[in-house]
Amino acid sequence: MAFELETAAHPEGLTRVAIDPVSRVEGHGKVTLMLDEAGHVHQVRLHIVEFRGFEKFIQGRPYWEVPVMVQRLCGICPVSHHLAASKAIDMIVGAKRLTPTAEKVRRLMHYGQMLQSHALHFFHLSSPDLLFGFDSEVGARNIVGVAAAHPDIAKKGVLLRKYGQEVIRMTAGKRVHGTGSIPGGVNRSLSAEDRATLLKDIYQIVSWSREAVHLIKKLHLANPALYNSFGSFRSNIMSLVGNDGALDFYHGTLRARDDNGKLIFDNVDYQNYRQYLSEEVKPWSYMKFPFITSLGPEAGWYKVGPLARVQNCDFIPTPLAEAERREFVDFGGGGLVHATLAYHWARMIEMLHSAETIKDLLHDEDISGSDLVTEGEHESRGVGVIEAPRGTLFHHYRVDENDVVTFCNLIVSTTNNNQAMNESIRQVAKRYLDGRQLTEGLLNHIEVAIRAFDPCLSCATHALGKMPLEVELIGADGSLVDRRTKGLGG
Amino acid sequence: MEADVPLDDLLRPRSPPAAVLVLGYGNPSRGDDALGPAFVERARAAAGHLEVPGGIEFLTDFQLQVEHALDLIGRRLAVFVDASADAPAPFSCSEVAARRDDSHSSHALSPSAVLQVYADVVGGPPPRCRLLAIRGESFELGADLGTAATANLDAALEFFAREILRQDGGP
């Protein structure tokens, strides 16, 4: 099936504009716009060249290698893959319930990842747009502009990210490609020295995270006309929710709501996710389009990530973030907030919750315990799901009698948001691009909408010369009218 | 990270770093994209034979990000090592200067962008930085380092020990 502006009724005679790839989004992404001679938008598509071949990359390997190997799928959120794969392999080794130390060390690693990822996104990827405006001069929109105008913000952003990465290093064993999480548990707990180091700084981290929530809230409330409408659309939402209804990034059951907040399903054991979710393939995209099976592809697509999570849970189990969540919910006036730019506000509430959770875990004696691994009766199938920074992440494996992976299915966060991102840029195209001359500032509006979801199109080779930034204008006869290329080198 | 400590002090390392940093980056499971990490692995193994005043430190990562600006603090020399689809074989070696290029605010910064972050967030003159761009040909997921890339890596390692450290590694 096709959505409005997904496929032009009469593509002949239209001009095609490609933003290739999206400049501040990881990996290979391309947006194509088809305009008629008057500049009216007829077709808008986000293409993401990714992920095919991942499953093959994993198949044929012994299961114990998987939690480490999957980190090579993504340079942006390797910890998310590390933990989702570990949870799936836990099922295969019969580790139905981890030891308290193992679960808390994994949680600490994961919340460190959430903290550093959200900090990078807000302080370095998005704040240039949010602080300077979408039409501002390109040089002012980058981090240099932020640093010049708000030096403390840029420094705090770097320090927040550094702190999160230190949490990862101390729990995973290495700054990148850690090995801390293993089938059935972890191979280390937090040393007394590392714990003291992290404890010394965590109160400052909580304070800065709270400042960040207040900053984005102030920006949102200062310009509600823009923030509430930009790229906005109504949709279902889905996320993991803790067993008590709490916001939980590490474990829980699946919950989905419709655009009015009414439950579609709840308390779903993610081992059975295939009974509830399906994936549609479209001929123009490499990336699948997941949807809630009972609603079908037209009505069953959903959004995931911070905006979904903060509104899908019943409460946040840390006091400062819970106070911010209540204010956010009040802002919605009794309904779900669907504003695309509210992703930023929700993301900062999550960063604050991550900081508070890290603080609590550092005060928990289990974090330095010695009972690290458990195991039970082995099974041939396992599904692991976590809430990664960008949304719900599924890892699904089957192994044979030789412990070799024979099947792998991944639904990554960005795939879960595929239709939502397409919908958002179509709204932006209709509102800001239709019938107008294309400018860099206007094209940046498209990127602003995509960036709000913080997609990880990762897994792309970053090598020098491999990621040119390209804008192509192709005439109605198919000829190249104009082209601009921006390489990493300048 | 006490509240009354100036932010600039918090950015600085808690102990003096080695004078020379070698930072190789890339995905070890994407064919020739592994050149950066492979360079670090082999150079680290040979480091016992190198005499580098002030010491030498090796780091690897998938890609460069803002925090790598902090890794440059207190260095005399930093060498970025990356695979390159554009560099002439076997490698090219160039000076890196701070620049606001288009990788700013992306998930993968260029070395120039990292230096720009250093200038704007850390401040003061950065260390001398060089980019060793080793020619790669194939970047497929799951592929091993190719034969040509391996030969290019050998040449780059020899140049690193013979030229870069000899010329720039000293005080």
Range scoring the smallest mean pLDDT among A172-181, A347-356, A444-453, B6-15: B6-15
Q: Is A302 helix (H, G, I), strand (E, B) or coil?
A: strand
Interface contact flag, A120 B10, Cβ < 8 Å? no
Residue A109 confidence (pLDDT) above 90: yes
Residue A460 is predicted with a pLDDT of 33
- E-strand ranges in chain B read 20-25, 56-61, 77-84, 91-95, 128-135
pLDDT at residue B8 is higher than 50: yes
Which band of pLDDT confidence, cut at 50, 70 and 90, is reported for residue A131?
A: confident
For residue A128, list chain B residues with Cβ-Cβ distance below 8 A.
105
Rounded CA separation A202/A451 (Å): 28
Provide the shortest C-alpha distance from residue A386 to chain B (in Å): 22
Tell me what pLDDT residue A241 has: 98
| Average pLDDT rounded to a whole number, residues A144-159 | 73
Look at B103 and A205 and tell me if their CB atoms are within 8 Å. Answer: no
Which has more pLDDT, A140 or A240? A240
- Of the two residues A471 and A46, the one the predictor is more confident about is A46
Please give the residue of chain A at the shortest CA–CA distance from B84: A464
Q: Predicted confidence band at A128 (pLDDT cuts at 50, 70, 90)?
A: confident
SS (H, E, C) A429-464: HHHHHCCCCCCHHHHHHHHHHHHHCCCEECCCCCCE
Confidence check: pLDDT of A100 > 90 = yes
Q: Which residues of A touch B27 (CB under 8 A)?
A: 72, 75, 459, 461-462
pLDDT at position A475 over 50: no
In chain A, residues with a C-beta closer than 8 Å to the C-beta of B110 are 464, 488-489
Note the pLDDT of residue A56: 81
Would you call A401 exposed, middle or buried from its count of C-beta atoms within 10 A (0-12, 13-18, 19+)? exposed
B29 — pLDDT class (breaks 50, 70, 90): confident
pTM: 0.90
Q: What pLDDT sits at residue A489?
A: 33
Residue % of chain A over a pLDDT of 90: 59
Give the per-residue pLDDT at A485. 43
Tokens matching residue A310: 């903060």
Which of A464, A466, A471 is the best substitution to test chain B (most B C-beta atoms within 10 A)?
Answer: A464
Tell me which DSSP letter residue B145 carries.
P
Question: What's the pLDDT score for residue A14?
Answer: 65
Q: Do A139 and B100 touch (CB under 8 A)?
A: yes
Q: Which of B83, B101, B120 sits opposite A489 (nearest CB)?
A: B101
Contacts of A73 in chain B (CB under 8 A): 141
Q: Give me the residues paired with residue A186 across strands.
A: A181
Is it the case that residue A24 has pLDDT exceeding 50? no
pLDDT of residue A486: 38
A165 touches chain B (CB under 8 A): yes
Nearest to B117 by CA among A359, A128, A192, A16: A128
Q: Are A344 and A216 in contact (CB under 8 A)?
A: yes
pLDDT band, very low/low/confident/very high, at A132 (cuts 50, 70, 90): low
Q: What is the pLDDT of residue A38?
A: 75
Give the residue-averaged pLDDT of B31-50. 90
* Beta carbons of B102 and A487 less than 8 Å apart: yes
What is the structure's pLDDT at A52?
56
Q: Do B84 and A463 touch (CB under 8 A)?
A: yes
Could you say which DSSP state residue B144 is in? Answer: P
User: Which structure tokens are listed for A4?
Assistant: 């409005």
DSSP 8-state secondary structure symbol assigned to residue B16: P
- Residues A413, A302: Cα–Cα separation, whole Å: 11
Q: What is the number of CB-based contacts under 8 A between chain A and chain B?
A: 162
Q: Which residue, A200, A157, A155, A160, is CA-closest to B7? A: A155
CB contact under 8 A, B100 and A487: no
Instruction: Give me chain A's average pLDDT, please.
Output: 85
Q: Alpha carbon A302 to chain centroid distance? A: 14
Q: Is the pLDDT of residue A218 over 70?
A: yes
Among B71, B101, B108, residue whose Cα is nearest residue A158:
B71
Please tell me which of the candidates B3, B107, B141 has its beta carbon nearest to residue A204. B3
> A201 or B121: which carries more pLDDT confidence?
A201
- Pair of tokens at residue A406: 């024979």
Res. A487: pLDDT tops 60: no
Q: Are A60 and A404 in contact (CB under 8 A)?
A: yes
Answer yes or no: is pLDDT of A21 > 50: no
Question: Which chain A residue has its CA at the smallest distance from B103's CA?
Answer: A488
Question: Average of pLDDT values for B148-156?
Answer: 97
What integer pLDDT is reported at residue A464 of this predicted model? Answer: 42
Band of residue B107 on the pLDDT scale cut at 50, 70, 90? low
- Our CA angle for A92, A96, A98, nearest 5°, is 110
Q: Is the pLDDT confidence value at B160 over 60?
A: yes
More confident call, B42 vs A137: B42
pLDDT of residue A149: 65
Residue A459, pLDDT > 50, answer no
Mean pLDDT of A300-327: 98
Quick check: A469 pLDDT over 60?
A: no
Give residue B35's pLDDT. 96
Asked if A60 reaches chain B (Cβ–Cβ under 8 Å), the answer is no
A65-73 mean pLDDT: 89
* ipTM score assigned to the predicted complex: 0.87
pLDDT for A47: 76
Q: Compare CB distances from B82 to A147, A161, A464 and report the shortest one's residue.
A: A464
pLDDT above 70 covers what percent of chain A?
A: 82
Q: Look at A143-152, A158-167, A271-280, B37-46 and tell me which has the smallest mean pLDDT.
A: A143-152
Secondary structure of residue B57 in the 3-state scheme: strand
Could you tell me the pLDDT band of residue A438, with boundaries at 50, 70 and 90? low
| Across A179-206, average pLDDT | 96
When pLDDT is averaged across residues A63-78 and rounded to a whole number, the result is: 86
What average pLDDT does the segment A62-78 reach?
87
Could you give the CA distance from residue A465 to residue B152 in angstroms, rounded to a whole number?
Answer: 17
